[in-house]
Structure 1
């Protein structure tokens, strides 16, 4: 990050040399190298049953939209028409129209009702209790606190996207249908998590035949 900032400072004429260039990158800690664990059924059920209203809304937006956590914060009430959510992805700038799941629609309608009036189109769907737009840091903090309270700390925000992909695979969606929801430019990650879901589903089917 400092290399990039210093290069920009050179372009602006603030400095002549980049003091950060050539500095060795730090190794990623082992605990951060672990893959995200997709939420299992029991964890999903526990969170939906016992989590706070705000955390459930965050959760349903994550699972229902199949997007990255940073994009959950981009949704405004103007993006929701009662059935679909519209989004231009932050990472890819790709425009998407996302049909809401029944659970996501219920959570959005409940959040809208709690506002007491029709929200203005530009108002973010996810806000802090004081009404300010929710930041990524705030969202991560409240969700981590709730996961710790419920004993679900092993399953993080990014893993909700993987859970969504697995649910689509369980429903029989092919890679193109999943990509239409997730916005993935390549299918490598889809193949990984959808492949796990399909293997599990086929194994369960094989067990039924076996028994």
Structure 2
């Protein structure tokens, strides 16, 4: 069959109007969908645990088709990695909100972090951390993100608490003590190993320990 030489009429593409925000709107919509999927992943981790969190369940939780989900995350590994990164970012943002004040009150800091640990984000992260102990693939994803979070957290802490610069060893001890005690309390409360009535006395005791490590007011 001979090729036709009849000219092909094509529709004339109209120039995009100046100031058209089409690409920006598409990018914003894509970002919203990604956030929706990450939130759905966190909810699935809380509801079902890591072992039972699957891409079909996440898609259903998000109210999307699995195909639509795969358009934004090529596989479950990419989704879990994005979820971990978001959980770390939430912790950093919460820490900054609590500490980014002219005057640092130990009570405010302890209470703020404790409230953060009651949210689903911490439950989801703890679920991932425990699962990574026996899941080599998950551990491979989690470890570098944990290292990155630790570096960012330490850098942010040094920036937000300049008054502790004269006693860096005490500062490191205070941060480690508060994180270990509070997260341990949150896990014990979730599993029923700790009586809720003991929370307030423990928080007050922790505040006293951190206060004892703090530098003198005129340092």
Shorter-chain TM-score bucket reads: under 0.3
Higher strand fraction: Structure 1 or Structure 2? 1
- Structure possessing the higher relative contact order (Cα contacts under 8 Å, 6 or more residues apart): 1
Q: TM-score, normalised by structure 2?
A: 0.23
